[in-house]
Amino acid sequence: MALVLRCLRPVPALLLRSSLAMARVLPSAPRGCPAPLLEGCRQCVQQLLLSRQLATKKAKGKGQSQAKVNISAALVEDIINLEETSEDMQAVIEALKEDFSRNLNVRTSPGALDHITVVTKDGKFPLNQLGQISQKSPQLMIVNMTNFPESTAAAAKAIRESGMNLNPEVDGTVIRVPVPKVTREHRESLAKLAKQSTNKSKEVLRKVRSKSITQVKKFKNKVSEDTIWMLEKQIQQMADEAATEMDKLLAAKTKELLG
């Protein structure tokens, strides 16, 4: 019995040291906390852990992986409409797709001329609203301007300046459009135009991102620093994803153009 008592004598001291160690590890309760931390103020614990997690993310250097931020749009709708920001960025992507489809094709077809904009004294109009476009042969397209003869010269100029490497010939109210042979030089020229269009679209995307971040910063004195940081991070992620999609579109179009 004496031996057992001697073995149990150090136990209280060990328990005390363990309790003290745990107390040092736990964070102290924040000001205004309605209950001591150790009595179960779960909300305070969550806030402290979130703050430390965000601080850790901010402190990470470049090149290190960071967790993706995904904020519920409903929770920050009083600050910014994230869904609207996403729609604006998607609209830029769709405009790039339309540009690729309409203006950057190896084979010129009547449909490629439809939306060429013609500037007349009465305003700007798509070519297919002023003339009847048809393909006479694989090497020749015809634009009949009988319905709007006064716009014939303007239509020919628009075709020539469309960037499609076309040299129209006017014969009365008929515009003959020879289709050039597809050369390697022409393919490379189209690929360069695709790159330029992508860069312009990325500039528009950056403006959408900057506008959204500016909107968020207006609330820096009304919400926490962590909330502002998370929103900026979310918007940047959205812009990065849109830019990546543009790069994929460009890669696919370049492959198509160069063959």
pLDDT digits (tens, 9 = 90+) for 117-176: 999 999 999 999 999 999 888 889 999 999 999 999 999 999 998 877 789 999 999 999
Domain 110-178 has CATH 3.30.1360.40: yes
CB 159 within 8 A of CB 113: yes
Nearest to 118, CA basis, from 175, 184, 63: 175
Nearest to 175, CA basis, from 167, 183, 164: 167
Q: List Cβ neighbours of 10 (8 Å cut-off, separation of 6 or more).
A: none
pLDDT digits (tens, 9 = 90+) for 17-71: 444 444 444 444 444 444 444 334 444 333 433 444 444 444 454 445 456 777 7
CB 117 within 8 A of CB 124: yes
What per-residue string of b and e applies to 111-147 under the rule 16 or more CB within 10 Å gives b? ebbeebebeeeeeebebbebbebebeeeeebbbebee
Q: Give the global pTM.
A: 0.61
Ordered by start, the domain boundaries in the chain are 73-104+183-258, 110-178
Confidence of residue 248 (pLDDT cuts 50, 70, 90): very high
Question: Domain 73-104+183-258 is of which CATH architecture?
Answer: Orthogonal Bundle (1.10)
